[in-house]
Structure formats: structure tokens, C-alpha cells
Structure 1
């Protein structure tokens, strides 16, 4: 595994951990008042993540770690086995259950196949946990795209969510091949998604690259949906293409579902700039940091 593949994975994890403190805080004035500029990990402000502490993950990051553990145990991505691990994980989970997870678990309990139980949720989060796949398939585009789409569909069957996973898989692959982030997104859009349902959302993000991040994400929407989250993630990458840390901080300061947006941006910008761009404290103070390192460096 190349160093920048590792940085893509770590980039997604630190994005989630940094988001935890203000995740789903939609009033950015509250973020300013309570924390100032968020450049370190904080205990969660809202009750959604009750019991979590600074350096922990949201439920998105917890599922991302589960995917990384599955890849390590299985030697690669196995859709059925990951679905079973996901089901077992949530049977004893003490963190937040979003609607997509609840619906998927209900479908599984009703007897639907483990890989045919995905919810109809249009939340970007289903795609956002894909970063660990880069550690295995960062050099194989077909496998990366296939597994990114497949892992998403386990919990999110909305076509735009699955296409978002496809889009970012192709983008991060191009970035690992030394294509600049903006050029990678533009080429991926032109070649693979010119008439797709997500095309207009990607274009919105790309066209906003010279605008203020907080104002732009407020305009797109701070919500969990692909309609808001996808252009927000693209904006973060395009606006802060040369600065991983600033991208992550500005994402959190924009409020709302910063975890899903940030994980996508963190993956792509981590792939672009490597481990040197990720603040060392964000790695050392991440509760699962040693576990993640051991999984990425067996």
C-alpha cells in the first residue's frame, strides 16, 4: 500500500473525529460561541452522540472502522460478510441509529437478504464510509468502484448515493495517480457522469470554488442528503485543494452534517497530499488511532 493510500483512509477518519464535537449543529453562531475555531477534537455538543468523547467517531466513523476491520479479516471486500458484520455490530451498538440504519435493520429482521436490505435513504453518509477500500484497491479502479458501490448499497439504495460513491472512487483513484483534485473531479464528471442525476450537484460544487465555504454550504444546505452534501464535499475539495487542514476546519465551521461531507473531502485531499498534510495531533489524539494504524500496517 502506497503512503498516499494510507493518507486517504486516515484523512477520512480524522475528518469524522474533528466533526464529532459540533456534528449536526446547524446554527454556526453556536459553534463560534462555544468553540471558536474548531482545530482540535471536542466532546460532542449535541445529545445525538451521548457517551462519546473527544477523539471518538460519529456513527459514520464507527462504520468506516468496521469496514476497515472487515477488509483486514477477509483479505478484501466481501459484500455478504461485511453486511453480516454490519448487522452484528449494530445489534449491540450504543451510539446513534440514523434512519438508514434503522430501516436496513428492519429489512434484515423481516427476512430480506443481508445484501438486499438497504434503505431508501438519500443521505451521503452511505457512500462516505468508503475510504478503507482505498487501502486495498487504490491501484485497481474496477475493484475500487465496484466495492464502493456495493458497500454503499448495503444500507443506501438511492441511485444518487451509489453514484456519489462511484464518483469519489474514480476521483480518488485519479488523485492517487497524481492528477490534481480539481482536474480529477472535472475529468471524472466529463467522462463518466455527464448526463447523470448527480452531474448538476458536482457542477455546483466545482463552480463554487472561489466562494466562502460557510456561506456556500449554507446555500447548498447543511443537511445529510446527497442534494446538499455532495456539492458541499466537492466545494471543500475544490476550494481548499492545496490545504488539507483548512478544508477540514472550514467544513466543521460550516455546521450541519459535517461528518459525511468531511469524510469524502478528507479522503480525496489525503490522497493528494499524503500523511505530512494531516496534523499529527489529529492522529495521535484519535481514540482508534493505534487500531487503525495496526490494520493499515499489519
Structure 2
């Protein structure tokens, strides 16, 4: 729910890279859902509506809720049957008013060229997959090995870059720990790396406990979900520690967009979300609104931040106006509760 709310909060002020233009359009501080301005991205949507990222997240949620687990065949069938007929492979088309690069590439390979699933991923370096697989992370949160397997497999359906896959899976693992009740702080990396050394997570670590050399024999070929470096796990702990260090300040906090970058790529978006999640771990409203007010690709920033902080504060920690103002919030709450019940079981 935190992710869906973050997405909808940024529908109006999405992709303003000139902050003066953003302030002129929406005032000095965006505090609630807004309607896109005429001629802007998502024109035609109303305050509280979802972008295409929210549509795909809900599609993933529905598959999980109805199948009781992550079923990749069912997920792909839903894309083929329920989603691809609504888009045409061009940017400004389809539900939510805009189709991301990675989805356009997958559409071209799958629909236009007729290639099978498993051969339709592209090289976009965005957080598109992370925005949907976070639902899988919530579902699998009590089994981080299964989480890594399912998230990395789903990510690979549309995004082929190994670095994107590693950073997406690392984010999802952090989210899984938040669902378990952990905090997003400087210790997050140690908690995840302990599982890498125990062999639970598919990140390569040259130095294991008590070892200082690479195991003998040829290196085994890597497969989907087996990542060459644990740096995607290690980096988030440093970012969180800096966010909580009184000697390291980004003021106001929305300026994370200027420190880490406003564009769409994973290496801009994940660090900003990690900073905001650590700094506002108990304050959902501040976390998502600073994500939104930073401009640029504020939608991805707010989705990723909203999921992490939402997992820490719970539904009761999300302001009621954000829940009731979200389009179709009752149906989405029902889906979220079904997935939560599956995860608990």
C-alpha cells in the first residue's frame, strides 16, 4: 500500500526536472494527491489515480493473491492477456498514460516479434521491475532465499542487465527484512551479508568467514539470480548510516534528488530511497512527500521509499487521507491483506 500511495502521489508532479517549474505548477510543497496539468505526463488521470507502475504492481498483487504464491507462468499469462492488449509499444499510451522503456522493449519482442518468455528482456537501467517485484518480496519475506529466487526471476523477464538485477534483488531483500520487523539503518548490510556467507542468498562473496581465498576449481557459470558482487547489499548500509549521522546532512531532505540524481536509472533511485527510508523510518508522510517534492523521477523514488517505510510503520502508520484518497483503495487493501496473510502463514 505504501508503494501504491507513493506512485499516486507523484502522478501529478511527475518528471519535472526544473524545480522552479514544479513549484510554479504545484506550490512550494506538495502534500497530497494532485491532478496532472494539461499536456504533462499522465494527463487525463485524476488525483489519486495510479500510473502504469501502479497498474503493473496491482497485476502482480492479483497474481500472488489468487495463486497463493509466486507463479511465473500465471504472471506472464496475465501480462499477455490483461496488459499487453492495452498498450501499443509507444511511450505515451496505455493505462497510466505512459509506458516505460523496459516494458516497451518487452512488448516489441513478445508481441511484435512473437518471441517466447525468457527471450524478451531489454537493457533499460530503470527501477521498473523493482516497482512490481516489491509485492513478491512482501509475499516471500519470511523466506529470503525464495524471495531472491522469485524476485530475480521476475526481474529477468523484462530487464537483462545483471547490475539492474542485483540492485533490484538487493532492494527486495531489504524490504523483506522490513516486513520481518527489522529497521532500515546502518546494520541492514551486515544482516544481509550474514545470510550471503551462510549460503542463503545468491550473491558471490570472495571472502567467507574463515576463508581468504577463492574455492578451488573452475568458477561455475552464473545463472539468473546468482550475482557476481554483494556490493548492492553493502552499499545500502553505508547510505543508511550516512542518513542517520548528524555530521552528514541533506537539508531539506527532498534534496536527495539533487545529491543522488533526478534521472530514472537504478543508481540514482535506490540510494535516494534508502536515504529517505533510514531518515524517516517512523514517519511515512515525511518520507514519501520528500520523495515527491524532489522532482525528476519522483514517482519511482516515492514508490520505493513508500514500500520500505510502509513496511516499517504498518498500515496504521500511513495517514488515512493517503489511504482513502487512493483510487480503488478498498479493493487494493483487500489484495494486500490476502498477500499479508499468505506471508504470515
The alignment's TM-score, normalised by the length of structure 1, stands at 0.88
* Long gaps (5+) in structure 2: 88-93, 197-202, 206-228, 244-248, 339-345
Task: State the match for 1:39 in structure 2.
Answer: 31
| Cα RMSD after superposing both structures | 2.2
Secondary structure at the residue paired with 2:41?
helix
Q: Between Structure 1 and Structure 2, whose CA radius of gyration is higher?
A: 2
Q: 1:14-55: CA deviations, max 9, x gaps?
A: 111111111111122222222231111011236221221111
Q: 1:84-139: CA deviations, max 9, x gaps?
A: 31233022142312221111011113232223311111101221222322443222
Deviation at 1:241, TM superposition (A): 2.1
2:154 and 2:165 map into 1 onto residues whose CA distance is 9
The alignment status of 1:206 with 2:245, answered yes or no, reads: no
1:200 and 1:238 map into 2 onto residues whose CA distance is 15
Task: State the match for 2:67 in structure 1.
Answer: 74
Deviation at 1:225, TM superposition (A): 0.3
1:120 and 1:277 map into 2 onto residues whose CA distance is 37
Are the equivalent residues in 1 in contact too, given 2:184–2:240 (CA < 8 A)?
no
Are the equivalent residues in 2 in contact too, given 1:204–1:231 (CA < 8 A)?
no
Out of 326, 329, 335, the residue aligned to residue 286 of structure 1 is: 326
Are the equivalent residues in 1 in contact too, given 2:57–2:133 (CA < 8 A)?
yes
2:100 and 2:177 map into 1 onto residues whose CA distance is 32
Task: State the match for 1:90 in structure 2.
Answer: 84
Task: State the match for 1:58 in structure 2.
Answer: 51
CA 1:294 to 1:203, structure 2 compared with 1: closer, same or farther past 3 Å?
closer
Q: How many residues align?
A: 289
- Tell me which moved more, 11-20 or 21-30: 21-30
CA 1:114 to 1:272, structure 2 compared with 1: closer, same or farther past 3 Å?
same
Task: State the match for 2:294 in structure 1.
Answer: 254
Higher relative contact order (CA 8 A, sep 6+): 1
Out of 154, 166, 170, the residue aligned to residue 167 of structure 1 is: 170
Q: 1:147-166: CA deviations, max 9, x gaps?
A: 22222222112212211222
The alignment's TM-score, normalised by the length of structure 2, stands at 0.77
1:13 and 1:78 map into 2 onto residues whose CA distance is 22
CA 1:201 to 1:186, structure 2 compared with 1: closer, same or farther past 3 Å?
closer
Are the equivalent residues in 2 in contact too, given 1:171–1:188 (CA < 8 A)?
no
CA 1:226 to 1:59, structure 2 compared with 1: closer, same or farther past 3 Å?
same
Q: Which has the higher helix share?
A: 1
Task: State the match for 2:21 in structure 1.
Answer: 30
Task: State the match for 1:116 in structure 2.
Answer: 119
Deviation at 1:202, TM superposition (A): 3.3
- Tell me which moved more, 184-193 or 233-242: 184-193
Are the equivalent residues in 1 in contact too, given 2:292–2:301 (CA < 8 A)?
no
After TM superposition, where is structure 1 displaced by more than 6 Å over at least 4 residues in a row?
none
CA 1:44 to 1:141, structure 2 compared with 1: closer, same or farther past 3 Å?
same
* Long gaps (5+) in structure 1: 1-9
